Amino acid sequence: MTVTIVGSQLGDEGKGGIVDVYGDAVDIVARYQGGDNAGHTVVEDGEEYKLSLVPSGAIRSKVGVLGNGCVVNPETLFDELDALRERDLDPDLRVAARAHVIFPYHRILDGIEEDAKSEEGDLEAATTGRGIGPAYEDKVGRRGVRIGDLLDPETLRARLEYVVPQKRALAEDVFEIETGDAFDVETLFEQYRAFGERLREEGMVVNAGEFLSDAIDAGQNVMLEGAQGTSIDIDHGIYPYVTSSNPTAGGACTGAGLGPTAVGQGEIIGIVKAYLSRVGTGPLPTELAGVEGHTPGYEPPGESGETGRAVTAGTLQSDEELANYIREEGGEYGTVTGRARRVGWLDIPMLRHATRASGFTGVVVNHVDTLAGLDEIKVGHSYTLDGEERFSLPGTTEQWADCEPNYRAFDGWPDQDWAAVAEGGYDALPENARTYLEYISDELGVPIYAVGVGPGRSETLVLEQPF
């Protein structure tokens, strides 16, 4: 069977940790979209692993697959594999022949287009700069290079000879930058042919859809691991401040090469962070305070508001202080970029939208420990838009920016020994935390499968085993 893990918010909900928690029964972990823009942190025996491309299950001796819906930077791929091998892990990783390749020119074009969008007036998405959007553009524009092509020098050369001059012209004539090796056919051919050789030597390239469905037919358990989150999905997110793929469950079908029946017969688990965090631009109705350069129209306060690390939960007054506190407690800095994340209260309309778009069969709520110590915890229960109460995301990002959240307040819960809570089970959770969790579950009409109360696997309370 399959279990699909989907981010229900804006990415960084702690999906990697949950893949790991449920990993015991898993044979294969497959990613179905995205590339090295994703950042997952997995803690194993006190060791922290930060991965951006390799699926998180691969550190636990599961077979990892990068599905055809992924965009793969071979340089990152081999760097991560080599780094894991240096730490005595030997992940068995397969890559779809149909996955698309990220080239150095994609990264450069990603950066210069962001600059151009910024100059044109706040249109940039604050991308991770990994070339994700430009690589997907080439895929849809039918001029991309696929992993399978790297193993076939003739095809690789032909593809590069077609596409690279176009990219060079775009960079030089439209964006007026100087180009170098990153736009040179011969250099790229040699470098990427060598990646192809290594992929072949290591036996990594597979027909992913067939590989996965054969495994399912043979009774194996497949975890489909989404990257990013629903609100930055290219179709269901806050366009244009989105990533260029489908993190929602539909993406698991197209991006892994499995039918909706295969995915739908399994479980689809939405991962929820107990508050909101966001790396990137665009509106965020329940945002607390803001982050310069990312929050539209935000200007940092003077010294009085900048309380930063020194504050304790009991002394928090302003939204600025709350945001700083949650950011520090939750370690809300980008895994890939190190950027400070924007922070906000939980947004229930966003979660209702995510639950519908992916058809969640269960949710996991993470970071419940991060909110500990706050007197009061708010959630955006609904929005008011043009005088009407709305319970889900409106159809356009501009309307979303005009939404005023209607908050509900919950009593906070004290900090405690969370490892003991995790051991004690659901009833060991503070009563106010249970009230909060039950409200989320009731509003979404979906049961809670697990609760995260810390970063390690042992700090997750598991209520349901999906496999």
Binding mask of the shown chain, residues 172 to 211, with x at each position contacting ligand IMP by CB under 6 A: ----------------------------------------
Instruction: Assess 128 for contact with ligand IMP (CB under 6 A).
Output: yes
Residue 100 is a catalytic residue: no
Instruction: Assess 243 for contact with ligand IMP (CB under 6 A).
Output: yes
In the list 30, 232, 234, 374, the residue contacting ligand IMP (rule: CB under 6 A) is: 232
Instruction: Assess 133 for contact with ligand IMP (CB under 6 A).
Output: yes
| Least CB distance to ligand IMP at residue 274 (A) | 17
Q: Which is nearer to ligand IMP, 244 or 358 (CB)?
A: 244
**Interface with ligand IMP in residues 280-299 (CB under 6 A):** 280
The residue with tokens 């928690």 is: 21
Burial 30-65 (b: 16+ CB within 10 A, else e): bbbbbbbbbbbbbbeeeeebebbbbbbbbbbebbbb
Catalytic residue among 40, 100, 294, 367: 40
In the list 150, 164, 227, 453, the residue contacting ligand IMP (rule: CB under 6 A) is: 227
Instruction: Assess 73 for contact with ligand IMP (CB under 6 A).
Output: no
Q: Which is nearer to ligand IMP, 104 or 412 (CB)?
A: 104
Residue 40 is a catalytic residue: yes
In the list 279, 326, 340, 461, the residue contacting ligand IMP (rule: CB under 6 A) is: 279
| Least CB distance to ligand IMP at residue 172 (A) | 23
In the list 11, 247, 251, 466, the residue contacting ligand IMP (rule: CB under 6 A) is: 11
Residues at the contact surface with ligand IMP, assessed by CB under 6 A: 11-12, 37-39, 125-128, 130, 132-133, 227-228, 232, 241, 243-244, 279-280
Residues marked active site are found at: 12, 40
